[in-house]
Amino acid sequence: MSSSLIDSVIFNTKIAATTSVATITAGFASFLNLIPNTIGVVASILGVILTTVLIITHIKKMYRDKDQSERDAEKDKLEIEILKRQLKE
Protein backbone atom coordinates (compact mmCIF):
# COMPACT_ATOMS: atom_id res chain seq x y z
CA MET A 1 0.00 0.00 0.00
CA SER A 2 1.44 3.36 -0.97
CA SER A 3 2.07 6.11 1.53
CA SER A 4 -0.12 8.59 -0.34
CA LEU A 5 -3.06 6.17 -0.23
CA ILE A 6 -2.60 5.65 3.50
CA ASP A 7 -2.33 9.41 4.06
CA SER A 8 -5.45 10.05 2.00
CA VAL A 9 -7.38 7.55 4.15
CA ILE A 10 -5.98 8.75 7.48
CA PHE A 11 -6.45 12.46 6.78
CA ASN A 12 -9.88 12.05 5.18
CA THR A 13 -12.43 13.96 7.23
CA LYS A 14 -15.34 11.89 5.93
CA ILE A 15 -13.72 8.65 7.11
CA ALA A 16 -12.99 10.15 10.53
CA ALA A 17 -16.57 11.41 10.84
CA THR A 18 -18.00 8.06 9.73
CA THR A 19 -15.83 6.19 12.24
CA SER A 20 -16.86 8.46 15.09
CA VAL A 21 -20.56 8.28 14.19
CA ALA A 22 -20.41 4.48 13.88
CA THR A 23 -18.67 4.18 17.25
CA ILE A 24 -21.15 6.50 18.97
CA THR A 25 -24.10 4.74 17.36
CA ALA A 26 -22.84 1.32 18.42
CA GLY A 27 -22.25 2.62 21.94
CA PHE A 28 -25.76 4.03 22.25
CA ALA A 29 -27.33 0.95 20.67
CA SER A 30 -25.46 -1.23 23.13
CA PHE A 31 -26.50 1.02 26.03
CA LEU A 32 -30.14 0.82 24.93
CA ASN A 33 -29.84 -2.98 24.55
CA LEU A 34 -30.62 -2.81 20.83
CA ILE A 35 -27.52 -4.83 20.02
CA PRO A 36 -25.55 -7.34 22.09
CA ASN A 37 -23.07 -5.81 24.53
CA THR A 38 -20.15 -7.59 22.89
CA ILE A 39 -20.73 -5.75 19.61
CA GLY A 40 -20.86 -2.43 21.47
CA VAL A 41 -17.68 -3.24 23.37
CA VAL A 42 -15.86 -4.27 20.18
CA ALA A 43 -17.05 -1.10 18.43
CA SER A 44 -15.88 1.02 21.35
CA ILE A 45 -12.47 -0.66 21.43
CA LEU A 46 -12.05 -0.20 17.66
CA GLY A 47 -13.10 3.42 18.01
CA VAL A 48 -10.51 4.01 20.71
CA ILE A 49 -7.81 2.33 18.63
CA LEU A 50 -8.69 4.31 15.50
CA THR A 51 -8.86 7.54 17.45
CA THR A 52 -5.44 6.85 18.98
CA VAL A 53 -3.98 6.15 15.54
CA LEU A 54 -5.46 9.37 14.17
CA ILE A 55 -4.14 11.42 17.10
CA ILE A 56 -0.64 9.96 16.78
CA THR A 57 -0.65 10.48 13.02
CA HIS A 58 -1.72 14.11 13.36
CA ILE A 59 0.92 14.77 16.03
CA LYS A 60 3.60 13.28 13.77
CA LYS A 61 2.35 15.39 10.87
CA MET A 62 2.42 18.47 13.07
CA TYR A 63 6.08 17.82 13.96
CA ARG A 64 6.97 17.11 10.31
CA ASP A 65 5.34 20.37 9.25
CA LYS A 66 7.14 22.27 12.00
CA ASP A 67 10.50 20.78 10.98
CA GLN A 68 9.79 21.62 7.34
CA SER A 69 8.90 25.19 8.27
CA GLU A 70 12.14 25.56 10.21
CA ARG A 71 14.14 24.20 7.26
CA ASP A 72 12.32 26.55 4.89
CA ALA A 73 13.04 29.52 7.17
CA GLU A 74 16.73 28.60 7.33
CA LYS A 75 16.84 28.19 3.55
CA ASP A 76 15.19 31.59 3.05
CA LYS A 77 17.67 33.16 5.46
CA LEU A 78 20.61 31.70 3.54
CA GLU A 79 19.16 32.81 0.21
CA ILE A 80 18.78 36.36 1.55
CA GLU A 81 22.42 36.33 2.68
CA ILE A 82 23.52 35.16 -0.78
CA LEU A 83 21.47 37.89 -2.47
CA LYS A 84 22.91 40.55 -0.13
CA ARG A 85 26.45 39.40 -1.00
CA GLN A 86 25.64 39.53 -4.71
CA LEU A 87 24.30 43.07 -4.37
CA LYS A 88 27.49 44.21 -2.61
CA GLU A 89 29.66 42.90 -5.44
Confidence of residue 1 (pLDDT cuts 50, 70, 90): low
1 vs 79, which has greater pLDDT? 79
Domain edges within the chain: 3-88
12 vs 50, which has greater pLDDT? 50
Q: What is the pLDDT of residue 10?
A: 66
Q: N- to C-terminal Cα distance for the chain?
A: 52
26 vs 66, which has greater pLDDT? 66
**Phi, psi of 67, deg, nearest 5:** -60, -40
Cα 42 to Cα 22: distance, rounded to the nearest angstrom:
12
- Tens of pLDDT, residue by residue over 29-84, are 887 888 887 877 787 787 788 777 777 877 888 888 999 999 999 999 999 999 99
Q: Which DSSP category does 59 fall into?
A: H
Which among 52, 42, 68 is positioned nearest to 10, based on CA atoms? 52
What is the pTM assigned to this prediction? Answer: 0.56
